[in-house]
Amino acid sequence: EGRADIGFVAYDPSRAGAVEFSQTYMLVKQTFLVLKDSVLRSVEELDRPGVKIGAGRGDSIALFVRRNFERATIVEGADPSPATAKQMLSARAVDAFGGNRQRLATVAREDPGYRVLDGDVFGVPQTIIVPKGKPTALMAVNQLIDEARASDFLKAAIERAGVIGVRSEEHTSELQSL
């Protein structure tokens, strides 16, 4: 709506429009949560006929699964929240629920009825957006990212926070396409 000067979002070409994306500054790994008694053990087992994969409507994992999985069925829930994941899994509406590794690992740690599958499917490029037509703002944001990367600020911040499934991204002028 143009009320903010910048925003922090996962890059996806379908989100382009009135904004421009900075370079990628961080990748957030995506994986899947399953019920503890699930026969599924790794992400490599998911793209099979009959497997239903849950994700939040329009979330980056839903976009990825639609583009890259050929045999599994995607079932989109209202949002990517832990509550939605647990509801869809416990109702057996889905076999696995996709999302950010940190968020799903927290669910599994707090509730022994769930576990996270081995492996990751991709790293979601995290970017900063600026309004379209503001090249000076975009240049300033990219310069800030370069400085934060060169000083190891990003890496140190991730380590200090104890976040899992996240890594600072090396300089790249092109965004990774999901």
pLDDT at 108: 96
pLDDT at 74: 97
pLDDT at 170: 57
In tens, the pLDDT along 69-95 reads 999 999 999 999 999 999 999 999 999
In tens, the pLDDT along 130-149 reads 999 999 999 999 999 999 99
Residue 56, φ and ψ in degrees, nearest 5: -70, 140
Q: How far is CA 130 from CA 22, 25, 75, 133, in A?
A: 8, 15, 32, 9
- Angle of CA points 25, 83, 91, to nearest 5°: 125
What distance separates the 2 farthest-apart alpha carbons in the chain? Answer: 53
Q: Which of 56, 39, 66, 162 is nearest to 121 (CA)?
A: 66
pLDDT at 169: 67
Instruction: Tell me the torsion sign for CA atoms 144, 17, 67, 79.
Output: positive
Weakly modelled stretches of the chain, pLDDT under 50 = 171-178
Are 51 and 117 in contact by the 8 Å Cβ rule? The answer is no
Question: With 0-12 CB in 10 A as exposed, 13-18 as middle and 19+ as buried, what is 81?
Answer: middle
pTM of the model: 0.76
